[in-house]
Amino acid sequence: MSSWCPLGRVQQAQGGIPIATEEIDAIGLFCPEPIVRLGKAIKKIEEGDTVVLRADDPSAPRDVESWADISGNELVSTAEKDDHWEFVIRKRGGEK
């Protein structure tokens, strides 16, 4: 069962290992802000933890993919919502 804490981090039990999820609301923000926030968030978490990024900048889908590819992190999923995209990114060890 997930539980929210005031810092926007969610602790989920998955196979007995706690997974921290950082949430970023970048809706209404334009390039490069969603990527800059994603980069900051990924630095705060441990390898294997995830970040959920919500953004509506039209450049976001391709840029998140580019960012993940170059930074060596994993873009787990991209979901198209009514008025924004929701990206799930998992921190991976080290850059390419």
Partner 1 sequence: MKKLLYVQTSGIDTPERTYAPFILATTAQAMGVDATIYFLIKGLTIVQKSEAAFVRLGSFPALSDVIQQAVDAGVTLYACEQSAQLLGLERGSLRDDVEIVGAATLNKLVLEADGTLYF
Binding mask 26-55 for partner 1 (x = CB under 8 A): ----xxx--x--------------------
Please name the residues in contact with 49: beta carbons below 8 A apart, sequence gap of 6 or more. Answer: 19, 20, 21, 22, 90, 91
In angstroms, what is the minimal distance from the CB of 15 to partner 1? 32
Q: Does 70 bind partner 1 (CB under 8 A)?
A: yes
Contact call for residue 12 and partner 1 (CB under 8 A): no
What does the alpha-carbon distance between residue 19 and residue 71 come to, in Å, rounded to a whole number?
21
Q: What is the set of active-site residues? A: 31
